[in-house]
Amino acid sequence: MGMTSDRISGREDELRVLERFLEDVRSGAGRSLVVRGEPGAGKSTLLRHAADRAAPARVLTATGAEPESGMAFAALHQLLRPVAGLAGALPGAQRDAVRAALGLAEPMASQDGFLVSAGVLSLLAEAASDGGLVCVVDDFQWVDQASADALLFAARRFGGGDGVGLLIGTRDGAGARRSLGALPLLELGGLDAASARDLLAERAATGPAPGVVEIVTAATGGNPLALRETAGLLTPDQLAGRAPLPDPLPVGEGVAGVYGDRIARLPEDTRLVLLAAALEGQGDARLIRAAAGRLGADPGALDAAEAAGIVEIRPPHVRFRHPLIRAAAHASAAPAARRAVHRRLAELLAEDGDHDRAARHRAEAVTGPDEDVAAELAAAGERARARGGYADAAGLLTRAAALTPDPAVRARRLTDTATAAWLGGRPGRAHSALAAARELAREPLLRAEIARLDARFELSSGNAAEALRTLLSAAEAAGGGGPEEQAHATRRIVLALLADAGEAASLVGDTGAAVRIGRRAATVTAPPGVPEDAGDAFLRDVLTGMGALYDGDADHGTHLLRRALAALPGLPELPGLPDLPGLPGLPGLLELPDLPGEDTTAYDGPAHDGSGRDAVAHDGLGSVGSTRPVPAGPGSVLESPAARLLWAAAAASLLGESDAAARYGAHAGRVARVSGMVGTLPVVLEHAATAERMNSGFALSAALSEEGLALARETGLDNSVAAHLANLAVCAAVLGQEDVCRARAQEALAIAIPHRLGLRAGVASYALGLLDLGLGRFDRAHERLTALASAGPGAGHRMVVWGSAADRVEAAVAAGDRAAAGAAAEFLGQWSAEAASPRARALVARCRALVADDAEAPGLFRKALELLAADGDQDATAYDRARTELLLGERLRRDRRVGEARPHLRRAAEAFHRMGALPWERRARGELRAAGETAGPNGPAALDGLTAQELRIARLVAEGVSNRDVAARLFLSPRTVEYHLYKVYPKLGISSRTELAHLLR
Residue 612: predicted pLDDT: 30
User: Is 44 in the same domain as 182?
Assistant: yes
- Whether the pLDDT of residue 962 is over 50: the answer is yes
Selected residue with higher pLDDT from 699 and 725: 725
Residue 803: predicted pLDDT: 83
Q: Does any domain span residue 256?
A: no
User: Is 177 in the same domain as 216?
Assistant: no
Interval 169-177 mean pLDDT: 63
The secondary structure of residue 528, as a DSSP letter, is T
Q: In Å, how far from its chain's centre is CA 403?
A: 33
User: pTM of the predicted model, to two decimals?
Assistant: 0.73
Mutual orientation of helices 658-674 and 641-654 as an angle, nearest 10°? 170
Residue 46: predicted pLDDT: 92
The domain that contains 141 carries what CATH number? 3.40.50.300
Residue 616: predicted pLDDT: 30
**Residues 6 or more apart whose Cβ sits within 8 Å of residue 167:** 18, 21, 32, 33, 35, 47, 50, 51, 134, 135, 136, 137
507-558: pLDDT as tens digits:
898 989 999 999 999 988 877 777 778 888 899 999 999 999 888 888 898 8
Rounded to 5°, the CA angle 767-769-770 comes to 65
CA proximity to 633, closest of 385, 947, 854: 385
Domain boundary among 874, 896, 930: 930
Q: Does any domain span residue 116?
A: yes
Taking the C-alpha atoms of residue 788 and residue 761, their distance in angstroms, rounded to an integer, is: 9
Interval 790-804 mean pLDDT: 85
Mutual orientation of helices 444-461 and 427-440 as an angle, nearest 10°? 160
Give 350-369 as a 3 state SS string: HHCCCHHHHHHHHHHHCCCC
Interval 565-594 mean pLDDT: 44
Q: Does any domain span residue 617?
A: no
User: Is 57 in the same domain as 111?
Assistant: yes
| Structural domain total, the chain | 6
The domain that contains 972 carries what CATH number? 1.10.10.10
Taking the C-alpha atoms of residue 319 and residue 305, their distance in angstroms, rounded to an integer, is: 11
User: Is 143 in the same domain as 180?
Assistant: yes
Residue 39: predicted pLDDT: 75
User: Is 722 in the same domain as 836?
Assistant: yes
User: Is 162 in the same domain as 234?
Assistant: no
Type of residue found at 496: A
Selected residue with higher pLDDT from 581 and 12: 12
> 152-161, 541-550, 668-677: which range is least confident on average?
668-677
Helix, coil or strand: residue 275: helix
> 38-42, 547-551, 569-573, 607-611: which range is least confident on average?
607-611
Interval 807-811 mean pLDDT: 95
What is the band of 572 on the pLDDT scale with cuts at 50, 70, 90? very low
The domain that contains 775 carries what CATH number? 1.25.40.10
Residue 287: predicted pLDDT: 93
- Whether the pLDDT of residue 478 is over 90: the answer is no
Query: How would you class 27 by CB atoms within 10 Å of its CB: exposed for 0-12, middle for 13-18, buried for 19 or more?
Result: exposed
Q: In Å, how far from its chain's centre is CA 592?
A: 34
Residue 479: predicted pLDDT: 63
What is the band of 956 on the pLDDT scale with cuts at 50, 70, 90? confident
Domain boundary among 384, 407, 437: 437
Interval 460-471 mean pLDDT: 91
What is the band of 175 on the pLDDT scale with cuts at 50, 70, 90? very low
Interval 826-850 mean pLDDT: 82
- Whether the pLDDT of residue 495 is over 70: the answer is yes
Decide if 824 contacts 805 (C-beta within 8 A): yes
Interval 729-740 mean pLDDT: 94
Taking the C-alpha atoms of residue 690 and residue 665, their distance in angstroms, rounded to an integer, is: 8
User: Is 869 in the same domain as 779?
Assistant: yes
- Whether the pLDDT of residue 801 is over 90: the answer is no
Domain boundary among 379, 408, 437: 437
- pLDDT > 70 fraction of the chain, expressed in percent and rounded: 84
Q: Does any domain span residue 610?
A: no
Q: Does any domain span residue 259?
A: no
Q: Does any domain span residue 607?
A: no
Decide if 478 contacts 490 (C-beta within 8 A): yes
**Residues 6 or more apart whose Cβ sits within 8 Å of residue 62:** 1, 75, 76, 78, 79, 135, 136, 137, 138, 143, 147
Q: Highest mean pLDDT: which of 67-71, 293-297, 651-655?
A: 293-297
Q: Does any domain span residue 942?
A: no
277-303: pLDDT as tens digits:
989 888 898 999 999 989 988 878 888
User: Is 294 in the same domain as 432?
Assistant: yes
Taking the C-alpha atoms of residue 901 and residue 324, their distance in angstroms, rounded to an integer, is: 82
Residue 596: predicted pLDDT: 29
Mutual orientation of helices 554-566 and 641-654 as an angle, nearest 10°? 150
Number of residues assigned to the chain? 1001
Taking the C-alpha atoms of residue 272 and residue 781, their distance in angstroms, rounded to an integer, is: 78
Taking the C-alpha atoms of residue 309 and residue 312, their distance in angstroms, rounded to an integer, is: 7
Helix, coil or strand: residue 192: coil
Selected residue with higher pLDDT from 375 and 477: 375
CA proximity to 648, closest of 696, 708, 584: 584
Decide if 876 contacts 695 (C-beta within 8 A): yes
Interval 176-195 mean pLDDT: 78
User: Is 458 in the same domain as 419?
Assistant: no
- Whether the pLDDT of residue 325 is over 70: the answer is yes
User: Is 744 in the same domain as 844?
Assistant: yes
User: Is 294 in the same domain as 422?
Assistant: yes
Q: Does any domain span residue 3?
A: no
749-761: pLDDT as tens digits:
999 999 999 999 9
The secondary structure of residue 308, as a DSSP letter, is T
CA proximity to 325, closest of 381, 257, 379, 239: 257
Interval 114-135 mean pLDDT: 89
- Per the structure, the complete domain to which residue 952 belongs is given by 948-1000
Give the β-pairing of 317-320 and 311-314: antiparallel
Interval 735-749 mean pLDDT: 95
Residue 233: predicted pLDDT: 76
User: Is 365 in the same domain as 504?
Assistant: no
What is the band of 944 on the pLDDT scale with cuts at 50, 70, 90? low
